[in-house]
Each structure stands twice: as C-alpha cells, then as structure tokens.
Copies of this chain bind each other. A is one copy, B any other.
C-alpha cells in the first residue's frame, strides 16, 4: 500500500520525468531485476527455474519484480492452460534492447571493482609499513 502523495513518491516521479537516467534506474534498477533479466537473456524460463537460478530471492519479491517488468513491457508472461499449470517468462523485443546497455554496465562495474580493490590494497600496504 503505497501513498501516492508522499513527498517521496512525488520526488521519484519528478526526477523520472526530468532525467532519463533516473527513469532507466527505476525500470531496471533494484536488487533483483538485473539478475532476473540476465536469466531471461538466455531464453524463456519457467517460474521455478527462475527461483532456483536466483539464490536468495523470496517468492513474494520474485513475483513483484516480474510484475513490474511486465508493466514496463520488458517481460512477457505466457500461461499454458494445462494441469499442472505452466507459466513461462520471456523478454519482449523491447526487453532485448537492453542487452548492450547491460553489457556496458557490467564492464564498467568490474573495472570499478578492480580499481577499488587496488585502492584498498594500497591503503593496507601503507598501514603495514607504519605498523
């Protein structure tokens, strides 16, 4: 139950309408969405496969994130009217346009991580010298 008129919600809307980058983050940011999208880049996947392949995610959160991705037209939900029920998720064409961007994000991330690691090690060296 989200208050639509909280300062918080208003700020979010304003920023997203002004800044495309903020919009992008609100669409694919968050803790779990990148993982979900990565899974689906491989192809269609069933609910349980997703849950299995994303360790630590709870059912509630998985469903919430999938619904948001659906609303943002990035993911499609296909229901097979069978018993036992079967549901598959797959990226829409719009969803697939994220591939390059994700690649970029991932590369920058590992570059940054390496940089941070070096920086930490240098600091430890200095401390060791002093001690």
Contact = CB atoms under 8 A, between A and B. Distances in A.
Main DSSP-derived SS at the A contact region: helix
B31 A109 contact: no
Contact of A34 (B25, B30, B119): B25
A100 B56 CA distance: 32
Contacts of A98: 108
A35, A55, A97, A105 interface centre (most CB from chain B within 10 Å): A105
Interface size class of A (residues with CB under 8 A): 35 or more
A3 interface: no
A34 to B, nearest CB: 4
Nearest to A8: B31
Given A15-B31, A112-B94, A20 B73 contact: no
Interface of A: 7, 11-12, 14-15, 19-25, 27, 29-32, 34-35, 38, 55-56, 72-73, 94, 97-98, 100-102, 104-113, 115-116, 119
